[in-house]
Structure 1
Amino acid sequence: MVILGAGLTGLSAAFHGRGTVFEKEKEIAGTCRSVRGEGFTFDLGIHVLHSANPYILNLLLRNNTAGLVNRRRSAWIYSRDTLTKYPFQANTFGLPKKIIQECVSGFADALRRPDRIFDNYEDWIYGVFGKGIAKHFYLPYSEKFWTVKTRELTTNWMDARVPRPRLEQVIAGAASIQKEEFGPNALFRYPKSGGIRRIAGILINKNTKILLGKEAQRIDIAAKKVYFVDGTDISYDNLVSTVPLTVLCRMFNRAPKEVIDAACGLRHNSVLCVNLGVRREDISPHHWIYFPEDKFAPFRVSFPANFAKSMAPKGWSSIQAEISYSRMKPLKYRDVVEKVINDLIRARIIKPKDKVRLINTKDIQYAYVIYDHDRLRNLDIIRAYLRKYNIYSAGRYGRWEYLWMDDAILSGKNVLKEIRARK
């Protein structure tokens, strides 16, 4: 078995089965990599473990070689020059009274029209949360994050990702800061040191064979052979790919036009991470803050040293600002680092006199897959073609699904079941 990609899914496939992993980068972990520099450690965006899956918990915590520790989430939202607790729909206390009234009354109105079928995410937002919550958070934040209009999105990506409070909880969160937490990651685990990359190490055993710096360039589906950029090649019986589907389909030497067109129809966003060090400890008590307003460049700002003290050197804090963009909504800032720093000052996270150091910027080309209305049709075309040639596409970008880390690990495990079922 040949496996393309040494992210969590590729490593999981090798861990649960037998095969050789080929990774184009010089290190493992994919988008779960952790980057070190100048005494700081940054992940590629926020990654926390909040799985309730017994198998995953046993696998990762059995010996706890990643040094996972428990954390109680502190997530907030900055809008109208005010910090409110996450999620917005259950925590409007602190906002102007008129906005609070719009949000609570809109939510109550939405409850009077239950059990509706929604054609798109925008209708779902209005139908479930009402006009006020839609206007003041969900529409602006969602379009900033996804980089497309909310009506272009379906609703089959959400699952537990969007908390749905009861009316009494919405009212309580409008009257005061409530202690009750919402959402699947209210409690999470994170490595004590080394960043989230430590989880990838658990998926490597003595039988795992990984070749780094091996970028696949072309796949001859008839000869069942993968050709690499360095001029080498390898034959396979079964090929497991965690490569983004849009990239994988361009590697085929004779893919039909409908398959190429389907791959071109798949959309995703990208995320630019601006990683900063600030010469002041405890710059914020929170783990992350959402920014729904378009006047701020980031959609989210996080504080890695609050996940684990080891993420920043003594005397310093660390900040990661995430900016979403895509071919539908390109980056619009001439100097994005300067814009981020000015935004952090504007939001009173850092002070004008603070010593701020740019540690690095990291560009995640494939960040989140976009669940538009053509996605399933395009995936059906691509998957039918792959099945003919014993090619198994897995993981977030191989399945083209919004998978969390535990989902990605299970995807690598489950692909082996697919292979066995075909024999």
Structure 2
Amino acid sequence: MTGDTGFVILGSGMAGFGAANQLAEYGIRPRMYDQRPRPGGLTSSFDHGDGFVFDEGVHISFTKSDRVKQVFASSVAGKFETGKVYCNNYWKGHWIKHPAQVNLHGLPTPLVVDCIRDFVAASQMQEPAIDNYHDWLIAAFGTTFAETFPMVYTRKYHTTDATNMTTDWLGPRLYRPELGEVLRGALEHEPLDVFYVDDFRYPSFGGFEGFMHGLFPKADVHCGHRVTGIDPAARRIQFATGASAGYDQLISSLPLPVLVPLIKGAPADVVDAAARLACSQCVVVNIGLNRPIESKAQWSYFYDEDIPFARVSYRTALSPYSAPPGCGAMQAEIYFSDKYRPLEGTPDDWIDPAIDALIRCGLIGDRSEIIHRSAIWIPFANVIFDHDRRPALELVQAFLEDVGIASCGRFGQWGYTWTDAAFLSGEQAARRLVKAMAA
């Protein structure tokens, strides 16, 4: 196979199909290549044939863009669930609403007193030095709360310490309260709604991947094509199958540490920079129960370090059709990283430890309730914003611009990118290339 020229997209996730969606508006149908056996990328869903449908971790759509809402709604023919996001936290047998910093009510009194005292002390500091995420947490919440909750969660979710992270990724993700909000949340039960996610949408059937199905026809999709080389001078891509394809314009959502070494002539310092970009990996343990799960929450955060998972999501809280009638399902996320916490054993080895912890937290009564158990391995889960990231990313992005590759998506831009932002980044990449051609 030699392939035609024209627009080529590498990767068939949200960013890739965002690019395809934008190109369709210009009357262009690109070729798309993905190493997986079917399109979907990180938004893929899996039907195990027993009535349980699982995603690659928790996914919802909470975009504020009316246009993206319409694209997703059309993709599922208007068949989607809506709801208000509610999530909670587990700490040493206590369940409290998220975010914990304004929901201390119900925790042990000495802990609440120390959290408030330290919060007041931190609030009185004048322009504290913020050199890393650890410093920010202390300044924002005080020592007791920071060390009890977000610093522990950081080690579980980001696989490294807060001192090793920057604050580039924060945005609206960690709510910084006023004293009155902290006090009210300590005295009253769930008085405030301050979480950055409010309403959500989720496909009724087939898992989160459904929001992409209507986009699949907008590209000529070739699955089972793992890229082994890119020659930007010859504008040619080589695949593990032995086939090759030419291109005029190239858009990639491949992870940068994967993409850069594939590019012929990539300088050693750029290859080294790409290798320094860190991300977490995730074992997602899927559990199906023979009974419904009675939970108001769509997902929960776990702060105990002796509990392996950082987060658990509840499938039927997103769509009642994610499990057989009368059954429930949940997913527990356990994080690793090549750079900071390599995976021990295999993904399946973590199923039983996850079940043990779910029983200990009261989410499962005993093993007799379990009618489905499986694990998904996600080699690229979340970007880790360590101190290597920014200088390495700047070098890599400059190189990709020089060789004419438009990179997009969470791991193509190496950012903390949600679903709608990944989709929009693909559209933006396509627009840039089309406008450059017209200039």
If the TM-score is normalised by the length of the shorter chain, which range does it land in? over 0.9
Partner of 1:5: 11
Within 5 A, what are the aligned runs for 1:240-389? 240-327=251-338, 328-332=340-344, 335-352=349-366, 354-389=368-403
Contact 2:312–2:333 (CA under 8 A) maintained in structure 1: yes
Give how far 1:61 is off: 4.0
Deviation at 1:391, TM superposition (A): 0.8
Q: Who is 1:151 aligned against? A: 163
Deviation at 1:226, TM superposition (A): 0.3
Amino acid at match of 1:295: D
Partner residue, 1:170: 182
Question: Quick check: 1:91 aligned with 2:103?
Answer: yes
- TM-superposed CA distance for 1:74, in Å, is 2.3
Aligned to 2:207, the other structure's residue is in SS state coil
Native 8 Å contact 1:283 1:349 kept in 2: no
Name the CA shift for 1:274/1:239 in 2 (closer, same or farther; >3 Å). same
Tell me which amino acid in the other structure corresponds to 2:343.
Answer: L
Instruction: Tell me, yes or no, if structure 1 residue 413 matches structure 2 residue 422.
Output: no
Alpha-carbon offset, residue 158 of structure 1: 1.1
Structure-to-structure mapping, 1:186-225, within 5 angstroms = 186-205=198-217, 207-225=218-236
Instruction: Decide whether the 8 Å contact of 1:50 with 1:184 is kept in 2.
Output: no
User: Where does 1:51-130 land on structure 2 (aligned, <5 Å)?
Assistant: 51-61=63-73, 65=77, 67-113=79-125, 115-116=127-128, 118-130=130-142
> 1:66·1:198 contact (CA, 8 Å) conserved in 2?
no
Runs (5+) with no aligned partner, structure 2: 1-6
Any idea what SS the aligned residue of 1:69 has? strand
Work out the percentage of aligned pairs sharing the same amino acid. Answer: 31
- The one-character-per-residue Cα deviations of 1:333-369 (angstroms, maximum 9, x if unpaired) are 7831111111011111111263213432100000001
Q: Secondary structure at the match of 2:258?
A: helix
The whole-number CA distance in structure 2 between the counterparts of 1:402 and 1:387 is 21
Measure the CA separation in 2 of the matches of 1:84 and 1:332. Answer: 31
Q: Superposition RMSD on alpha carbons, in Å?
A: 1.8
Cα deviation, 1:266-318, whole Å, max 9, x if unaligned, reads 11110100001111123434211111111001001111011111001012211
Q: Does the residue aligned with 2:368 lie in a helix, a strand or coil?
A: coil
SS at match of 2:381: strand
Instruction: Tell me the distance in 1 between the aligned counterparts of 2:108 and 2:143.
Output: 16
Give me the whole-angstrom Cα distance separating, in 2, the residues matched to 1:237 and 1:353.
56
Distance 2:322 2:306 in 1: 29
Shift of 1:165: 2.3
Gaps of at least 5 residues in structure 1 are none
For residues 21 and 305 of structure 1, the distance between their equivalents in structure 2, rounded to whole angstroms, comes to 33
Deviation at 1:111, TM superposition (A): 1.8
**Counterparts in 2 of 1:20 and 1:66: CA distance versus 1, 3 Å:** farther
Give the CA deviation at 1:62: 6.1
Amino acid of the structure 2 residue aligned with 1:3: I
Task: Return the offset for 1:252.
Answer: 1.7
State the SS of the aligned residue for 2:21: helix
Question: How far apart, CA to CA, are the structure 2 residues paired with 1:135 and 1:380?
Answer: 32
Write out per-residue CA displacement over residues 184-239 of structure 1, whole angstroms, 9 at most, x where no aligned residue: 2132111122211111124344x432112121111122211001111111111111
Kept after mapping to 1: 8 A contact 2:75/2:212: no
Provide the C-alpha distance between the structure 2 equivalents of 1:243 and 1:112, rounded to a whole number of angstroms: 45
**SS of residue paired to 2:152:** helix
Residues of 2 paired with 1:118 and 1:180: CA distance? 28
Deviations 1:125-184, CA, capped at 9 Å, x for gaps: 001111121021011011111001111111111111112222211111111222422222
Aligned pair count reads 422
2: distance between equivalents of 1:261 and 1:195?
Answer: 38
Give, as a single letter, the amino acid of the residue that structure 1 aligns with 2:165: L
Q: Does 1:28 align with 2:34?
A: no
Q: In structure 2, the residue corresponding to 1:354 is in which secondary structure? A: helix
Query: 2:74 & 2:327 partners in 1: Cα distance?
Result: 33
Q: Is the 8 A contact 1:237 1:390 kept in 2?
A: no
Paired residues of 1:41 and 1:311 also in contact (CA < 8 A): yes
**Could you give the per-residue CA deviations for residues 227-262 of structure 1, whole angstroms, max 9, x where no partner exists?**
111111111111111000000012123211111110
In terms of mean alpha carbon deviation, does 287-296 or 357-366 score higher? 357-366
Higher mean displacement: 252-261 or 267-276? 252-261
Asked if 2 retains the 8 angstrom alpha-carbon contact of 1:66 and 1:202, the reply is no
User: What is the alpha-carbon distance in structure 2 between the residues aligned to residue 29 and residue 63 of structure 1?
Assistant: 13
Question: Is contact 2:75-2:215 (8 Å) kept?
Answer: no
**2:287–2:373 CA contact under 8 A, matched in 1:** yes
What CA distance in whole angstroms lies between the structure 2 residues aligned with 1:61 and 1:357? 32
Residues in 2 aligned to 1:378 and 1:118: alpha-carbon distance in whole angstroms: 21
Range with bigger deviation, 183-192 or 236-245: 183-192
Per-residue CA deviation, residues 87-114 of structure 1 (Å, 9 max, x unaligned), is: 1111111110011111122222222236
Q: 1:406 to 1:22 in 2, by over 3 A?
A: same
Question: What residue number does 1:141 align with?
Answer: 153
Range with greater deviation from structure 2 (235-244 or 160-169): 160-169
Provide the rounded CA distance (Å) in 1 between the counterparts of 2:88 and 2:300.
Answer: 5
**Within 2, Cα distance between the matches of 1:354 and 1:177?**
34
Give 1:45 shift.
0.7
Q: CA deviation at 1:55?
A: 3.2
